[in-house]
Chain A
């Protein structure tokens, strides 16, 4: 959308190519930035309230409806939180199938963002549809890659948006090995396409914009993290998921109309692909590590504009991991572990495509949810996004306002923000 100059205020009325509805307000005074506000006008839907009184086993399907782009993330964080409450441990093939489902979502979501939402910024198009007029083959490759992610989710869980096969303890029905086998050929193509994607996007022009973030992601002893691990940071944080709320808080910032997540005593932090990659580079399969190195990308990358390259590298990982699971899969004896609800509290965190997604539930004796807390990744990144803009804008004050607006939008899109997710939990406040 065009940037309008109203006095000394630059306003991007509707942020495009993000999930959900938001706007950006910049106030400039005497050639300096006076305020940066990511204004969120997406209406709240009160999930934490409406979950109260629902039965525990409804949480995966209800919370999936927070986000049509990353429903598997909500389902996975929910089932892990509830299983931890009830002392259930899911392992073996069911655990593998969960990773496979999550890989499908990563492939779909990353391909969507890299090809349809973010690449047009670097190549100067309004959308991928406009881009297709000149680069039909590239857009087609992205769409096919995205489709294969969706195919994985559909084969395993019925459909790609709000899958129907996830339950606390496992799945309603698990596939026969022969049902997953046809995915292998497609995933091989997808892995090659993802490698091509890394080469393609690594050639984009990136501004020199390294930032000293505290990067936060799950870290697992042996795997690139999806559903399990401790919460670690690039500056020494290392806590269990159950300690999340002791380590992180939400606070009101005077220049903003939304509360932002902070690390207690330390401030803003950064979740998502860049953080996962930096903290878990050694957990990537060699094919993904080599692709990253070839793209000039190492675990020290702190340039958010390069997140598009990291997303491409993570897509290589997701294809490789999905291929590994599909090739070695043997069905479990039963599709799910039995779950006995009891009065308990449980937390879960998983790595949504956009970063850590935290759930906590308090369950009553009858199995009904008494309290729910959900912290989506975009709410955790909002403060960092605004901080990026504080740094970026002064460098470009000489640009025509239209171009400055585009730069700002691009910087916001670095985070693949999901405003639909974030809003349902943001404590909106009006600055008087």
Chain B
């Protein structure tokens, strides 16, 4: 367990920082979307660095650093080292920071071709061949999954850190949330392909509640059986190339999903 931010020890509030790497801003927006709790949180911490919300940008050290986004440039690969040094507790926020995000699709392609496809003058674009999660560069104390993260998990994390305890975050599957919600299983009842059995809980089983199969925003659960789920999808008539793509979205870089998508891609070619 990393050291707690010890809110009262020095008679000062814990210092909170929010950093952004390659991302869409959605996970840090989740903090501003805590409309009922935002001012209470702001009363318990010193918001020392949060450019999206404040011109006040104080230097570290920080007690808690929340990091959104993946590492995709040499500059950010340097920056994350500095962020780690300045932070007591470092938390990765969301699919980009924990798995590389949708931009990790470059990891399966030739990044040079990507650059030329988008940019007129490719030689001026500085980018890394891979989009990588924060934990591949520095030690990470806690991770919040999701694309985007769940508001209640963010609040639980902050509450726990301020109380000096370990946050209670689920590691089970979306299926468990679906059952608790009392939703009808879209795959069993309707034959709708669903990633719920292999995807980590956290969203509250949103998609099945909207008559849609889970598409994996929270990445692989602790012990996913992707091969078994893929076979079930095939039995439902899903083409192998489509199974491969389903595992290759916002959490494409997460090892279990990466392995599944690569296995199905190989089989699709046969």
> What separation, in Å, do the CA atoms of A129 and B16 have in the docked complex?
13
**Contact A129-B102, Cβ < 8 Å, known A68-B26, A68-B148:** no
**Contact A48-B117, Cβ < 8 Å, known A150-B33, A161-B29, A164-B210:** yes
With most chain A CB atoms within 10 A of its CB, the pick from B25, B47, B52, B210 is: B25
CB distance from B260 to the nearest CB of A (A): 17
Interface assignment of B207: CB less than 8 Å from any CB of chain A? yes
Q: Check A144 against B118 for contact (C-beta < 8 Å).
A: no
Interface assignment of B235: CB less than 8 Å from any CB of chain A? no
Q: Check B53 against A173 for contact (C-beta < 8 Å).
A: no
Q: Check A162 against B105 for contact (C-beta < 8 Å).
A: no
A6-49 interface code vs B (CB 8 A; 1 in, 0 out): 00000000111111110000000000000000000111111111
Interface assignment of A102: CB less than 8 Å from any CB of chain B? no
- Which residues of chain A in 364-415 are interfacial with respect to chain B, using CB atoms and an 8 Å cutoff? 409
> What separation, in Å, do the CA atoms of A408 and B72 have in the docked complex?
30
Number of B interface residues in the complex (CB < 8 A): 64
Q: Check A164 against B206 for contact (C-beta < 8 Å).
A: yes
**Contact A147-B103, Cβ < 8 Å, known A45-B72, A69-B25, A165-B210:** no
Interface assignment of A127: CB less than 8 Å from any CB of chain B? yes
Q: Check A147 against B35 for contact (C-beta < 8 Å).
A: yes
B3-11, B121-129, B135-143, B226-234: which one contacts chain A? B121-129
Interface assignment of B23: CB less than 8 Å from any CB of chain A? yes
- Residues of B close to A43: CB separation below 8 A: 21-22, 72-73, 75-76, 127
- Residues of A close to B105: CB separation below 8 A: 50
Interface assignment of B120: CB less than 8 Å from any CB of chain A? yes
Contact for A45 among B35, B38, B102, CB less than 8 A? B102
> What separation, in Å, do the CA atoms of A132 and B72 have in the docked complex?
36
> What separation, in Å, do the CA atoms of A146 and B102 have in the docked complex?
27
**Contact A428-B207, Cβ < 8 Å, known A67-B24, A69-B26:** no
Q: Check A161 against B33 for contact (C-beta < 8 Å).
A: yes
- Residues of B close to A160: CB separation below 8 A: 33
What residue of chain A has the Cβ atom nearest to residue B75's Cβ? A41
A51-59, A78-86, A349-357: which one contacts chain B? A51-59
Interface assignment of A429: CB less than 8 Å from any CB of chain B? yes
> What separation, in Å, do the CA atoms of A173 and B250 have in the docked complex?
23
Q: Check A162 against B54 for contact (C-beta < 8 Å).
A: no
> What separation, in Å, do the CA atoms of A1 and B24 have in the docked complex?
22
Classify chain A's interface size. Answer: 35 or more
> What separation, in Å, do the CA atoms of A427 and B38 have in the docked complex?
37
- Residues of B close to A420: CB separation below 8 A: 23-25
CB distance from A100 to the nearest CB of B (A): 15
Interface assignment of B39: CB less than 8 Å from any CB of chain A? yes
Q: Check B56 against A116 for contact (C-beta < 8 Å).
A: no
Q: Check B53 against A127 for contact (C-beta < 8 Å).
A: yes
- Residues of B close to A45: CB separation below 8 A: 22, 72, 101-103, 131
Q: Check A428 against B119 for contact (C-beta < 8 Å).
A: yes
With most chain A CB atoms within 10 A of its CB, the pick from B53, B72, B120 is: B53
CB distance from B21 to the nearest CB of A (A): 7
Interface assignment of B113: CB less than 8 Å from any CB of chain A? yes
**Contact A158-B30, Cβ < 8 Å, known A45-B22, A130-B56, A430-B124:** no
Q: Check B72 against A429 for contact (C-beta < 8 Å).
A: no
Q: Check A17 against B212 for contact (C-beta < 8 Å).
A: no
Q: Check A17 against B25 for contact (C-beta < 8 Å).
A: no
Q: Check A162 against B106 for contact (C-beta < 8 Å).
A: no
> What separation, in Å, do the CA atoms of A409 and B50 have in the docked complex?
16
- Residues of A close to B32: CB separation below 8 A: 112, 116
> What separation, in Å, do the CA atoms of A43 and B106 have in the docked complex?
14
A135-143, A216-224, A270-278, A296-304: which one contacts chain B? A135-143
Interface assignment of B242: CB less than 8 Å from any CB of chain A? yes
Interface assignment of B145: CB less than 8 Å from any CB of chain A? no
- Which residues of chain B in 1-49 are interfacial with respect to chain A, using CB atoms and an 8 Å cutoff? 20-30, 32-33, 35-36, 38-39, 42, 47
**Contact A129-B148, Cβ < 8 Å, known A68-B27, A144-B35, A164-B206:** no
> What separation, in Å, do the CA atoms of A158 and B22 have in the docked complex?
25
Q: Check A16 against B124 for contact (C-beta < 8 Å).
A: no
> What separation, in Å, do the CA atoms of A55 and B248 have in the docked complex?
12
What residue of chain B has the Cβ atom nearest to residue A431's Cβ? B124
Q: Check B36 against A147 for contact (C-beta < 8 Å).
A: yes
Q: Check A46 against B115 for contact (C-beta < 8 Å).
A: yes
Q: Check B212 against A173 for contact (C-beta < 8 Å).
A: yes
> What separation, in Å, do the CA atoms of A62 and B23 have in the docked complex?
13
Interface assignment of A342: CB less than 8 Å from any CB of chain B? no
> What separation, in Å, do the CA atoms of A61 and B102 have in the docked complex?
11
- Which residues of chain A in 62-88 are interfacial with respect to chain B, using CB atoms and an 8 Å cutoff? 62, 65-69, 71
Interface assignment of A172: CB less than 8 Å from any CB of chain B? yes
Interface assignment of B245: CB less than 8 Å from any CB of chain A? yes
Q: Check A129 against B124 for contact (C-beta < 8 Å).
A: no
Interface assignment of A269: CB less than 8 Å from any CB of chain B? no
- Which residues of chain A in 84-120 are interfacial with respect to chain B, using CB atoms and an 8 Å cutoff? 112, 116-117, 120
Known: A14-B57, A49-B117, A165-B210. 20 other contacts (CB 8 A): A16-B52, A17-B53, A43-B73, A45-B72, A46-B118, A49-B113, A50-B109, A55-B242, A55-B245, A62-B249, A68-B24, A68-B26, A69-B29, A71-B26, A116-B53, A129-B53, A129-B54, A150-B35, A172-B211, A427-B121
Question: 6 closest A-B pairs (Cβ-Cβ)?
Answer: A68-B26, A127-B54, A49-B117, A147-B35, A49-B114, A45-B103
> What are 28 A-B contacts with C-beta separation under 8 Å?
A14-B57, A17-B52, A19-B52, A43-B22, A43-B127, A45-B102, A48-B117, A49-B109, A49-B113, A50-B114, A62-B102, A67-B24, A67-B25, A68-B28, A71-B26, A120-B55, A126-B56, A127-B50, A130-B56, A157-B210, A158-B209, A158-B210, A159-B148, A173-B211, A259-B120, A427-B118, A427-B119, A429-B121
